[in-house]
Structure 1
């Protein structure tokens, strides 16, 4: 009979969600399979690690299998980190070097070899009876938390670079992916802190009921996390649209050019030359209304002005002190204001206007519009009509 405790029931639901969505991720047809494969393996790792609370007391597995099941947890953080990279970078590919992420998993197995894996089953049973006080177990618990914390730091660093690159090179709502991934990272941090609290009590507490309540709270958080991933992945396919893995933030690119080689001269323009090229960029984007293209990138703009992408990026980000995203959206908002002020366009809805001027997200349009006008589009139109009517009456 399966475990029908509260913890057992939550485990059953998690196993169902994890296995079902991993199957979906493996089988769904998509142009980029890497994120799907990585999140599928992560979900399977979660399912394997917590499956003990499903079969506890019902199935007697060999202690070696039981221990390896527990150690699968060391694969979760590397898989999630690689998943983040596969979402951030559209051309990310798994390589042999990524096998280095298996090192923590291998280290833990090696630590347990002398007094667990190389002894007979009876000796292993004695080891398990006092497992929580064994030095290997204490090392394993500390090492696991350090590993999770380390990968969380790597994830936040990757997100920081991702946000910078988006702002410097793209004008669309690619930032939606960044905000989703950031929420996911903070959700993971919350679950990590819950796990730390639970494990601290596991080593210092004596009440098994309280420990199981803590496990239940942790598993409920994990269940919400998995469901949140599933729902977002199904409803927002644009989440899986990343950037090129070769793109770096401008600040990082310049650091790498502090000692330029003959093949990679450092970009430094005279003030008058920079002003001429900036004028060319502005003239081109205005005359050809490039800003109306919701998918406009800095590469496309560089092609139109016949300048290297890095040079255009430096001119906008350093000489104009603007991110490419803000630079393009400024033109879009000016165009939106023109439309709002023209009485002929009074029948146009906000949604129609935002699409017409190059936005493809209502939330991003409202955010940028309020940044420049300190009000909403409808409020701006209403106030403009009121003032215009007043001046006409005079």
Structure 2
């Protein structure tokens, strides 16, 4: 006997269609990042691929719901297999940022303990399906005994609380990791790698926003008023849009630059309160640094870092860093860029803008990007490069 195909599913409406399109694209970027991992062995690409896949996979439950799957297939068992893997999101966020900010990062055996909770949860979900499937009448219902009276009644709410607490902790650790790394770059490198660091910042901001939004929505639904499924739709729509952005930016941003940076020595951070009186040793080193910077102009190399400069000056890197921080009251990045800005000003005063563009002059003076040049120049002079050049033409 032929069974008529139900016409109710799929329902392409204003709720299901946007989610469907966005989630499918998310899976495409997850696949592309996975291919990159197999081709180039970038661990960060593998982690981001899994993160995007899980985030998109979580939207699947709601996408097919808005497409009327549950109304059409009243005894569907799909609830057993659309397993919430949120317990993996926090660890994946942390290890993604760590894989970018740690030179030659590799997973260690002890790292997998972070994924023990989600692994146990998957085993639990499979176990309740096996039990419910063995009970009489299972084929005639949507959810079996353990699914209703154990999973939905007790385990589900408990897992929700654990997920939120875990996510809060991992976000805190990951944001701390990012800020510590950004400070280290300013102590070691004259290039701040702002493009790559901005990507990490935006990545963390998006997941933090989604986490806070979900908490806010949960509080509203639990304490104030029950939210209709169309009102809950917005969270899933924002999440779907977010993972498309993350997929695109994550694929096209070369985070391997940060992974290859080498912080070979420990240095002190720039003190917030400068020393009132410098020691004779620091004064001598400071004078040597000034003479070398003015005569040899190492700042013209856009990739100049603390280790290279210490070798040129034959001064230990910790001593050099301490002399820059205390003697010039600047971190390494600001110190080097101050010479670059001065070189740009000198070229503009000589009328070099008639032969070169402002960006060309910036490259000649050691800057490696337009964004960094504009930001640093305005930070150190309180005016933009174009405004400074225009002021020279008016004098």
TM interval, shorter chain, is 0.7 to 0.9
- CA distance in 1: counterparts of 2:160 and 2:245, whole angstroms: 28
Q: Which residue of 2 aligns with 1:19?
A: 27
Q: Which residue of 1 aligns with 2:242?
A: 225
Contact 1:201 1:211 in 2 (8 A): no
Q: For 1:264-291, what per-residue CA distance to the aligned partner results, in whole angstroms no more than 9, with x for missing partners? A: xxxxxx9222222222223223322110
Q: Which residue of 1 aligns with 2:184?
A: 165
Q: For 1:13-37, what per-residue CA distance to the aligned partner results, in whole angstroms no more than 9, with x for missing partners? A: 2331222111111213765511111
Q: Which residue of 2 aligns with 1:361?
A: 369
Offset at residue 202 of structure 1 (A): 4.8
Q: How does 1:108-119 map to 2 (within 5 A)?
A: 108=121, 116=128, 119=131
Contact 1:75 1:105 in 2 (8 A): yes
Please report the RMSD computed on the Cα atoms of aligned residues, expressed in angstroms.
Answer: 3.3
What secondary structure sits across from 2:85 in the alignment?
helix
Offset at residue 330 of structure 1 (A): 0.5
Among 44, 51, 56, the alignment partner of 1:42 is 51
Q: Which residue of 2 aligns with 1:215?
A: 232
Among 306, 316, 323, the alignment partner of 2:324 is 316
Offset at residue 294 of structure 1 (A): 0.9
Contact 1:291 1:357 in 2 (8 A): yes
- CA distance in 2: counterparts of 1:25 and 1:109, whole angstroms: 24
Contact 1:165 1:248 in 2 (8 A): no
Q: Which residue of 1 aligns with 2:132?
A: 120
Contact 2:353 2:361 in 1 (8 A): no
Offset at residue 347 of structure 1 (A): 3.7
Q: Provide structure 1 residue ranges, at least 5 long, that are not aligned to the other structure.
A: 255-269, 388-394
- Provide the aligned length of Structure 1 versus Structure 2: 368
Q: Given the two structures, how large is their TM-score scaled by the length of structure 2?
A: 0.81
Q: Which shows bigger deviation, 339-348 or 74-83?
A: 339-348
Aligned CA distance change for structure 1 residues 197 and 133 (closer, same or farther; 3 Å): farther
Aligned CA distance change for structure 1 residues 211 and 281 (closer, same or farther; 3 Å): farther
Q: Which residue of 2 aligns with 1:263?
A: none
**1:285 counterpart = 2:293:** yes
Q: Given the two structures, how large is their TM-score scaled by the length of structure 1?
A: 0.81
Offset at residue 348 of structure 1 (A): 2.4
Aligned CA distance change for structure 1 residues 214 and 188 (closer, same or farther; 3 Å): farther
**1:104 counterpart = 2:113:** no
Contact 2:348 2:389 in 1 (8 A): yes
- CA distance in 2: counterparts of 1:2 and 1:61, whole angstroms: 17
- CA distance in 1: counterparts of 2:75 and 2:30, whole angstroms: 24
Among 349, 364, 367, the alignment partner of 2:357 is 349
**1:142 counterpart = 2:161:** yes
- CA distance in 1: counterparts of 2:193 and 2:288, whole angstroms: 26
Contact 2:186 2:192 in 1 (8 A): no
Q: For 1:230-284, what per-residue CA distance to the aligned partner results, in whole angstroms no more than 9, with x for missing partners? A: 3323544367534647668745899xxxxxxxxxxxxxxx922222222222322
Q: Which residue of 2 aligns with 1:9?
A: 17
What secondary structure sits across from 1:295 in the alignment?
coil
Q: For 1:129-173, what per-residue CA distance to the aligned partner results, in whole angstroms no more than 9, with x for missing partners? A: 467872322211111111111111011101110110111111114
Contact 1:198 1:214 in 2 (8 A): no
Q: Which shows bigger deviation, 182-191 or 305-314?
A: 305-314
Q: Provide structure 2 residue ranges, at least 5 long, that are not aligned to the other structure.
A: 1-8, 272-277
Contact 1:173 1:361 in 2 (8 A): no
Contact 1:161 1:249 in 2 (8 A): no
Contact 1:164 1:249 in 2 (8 A): no
Q: Which shows bigger deviation, 51-60 or 295-304?
A: 51-60
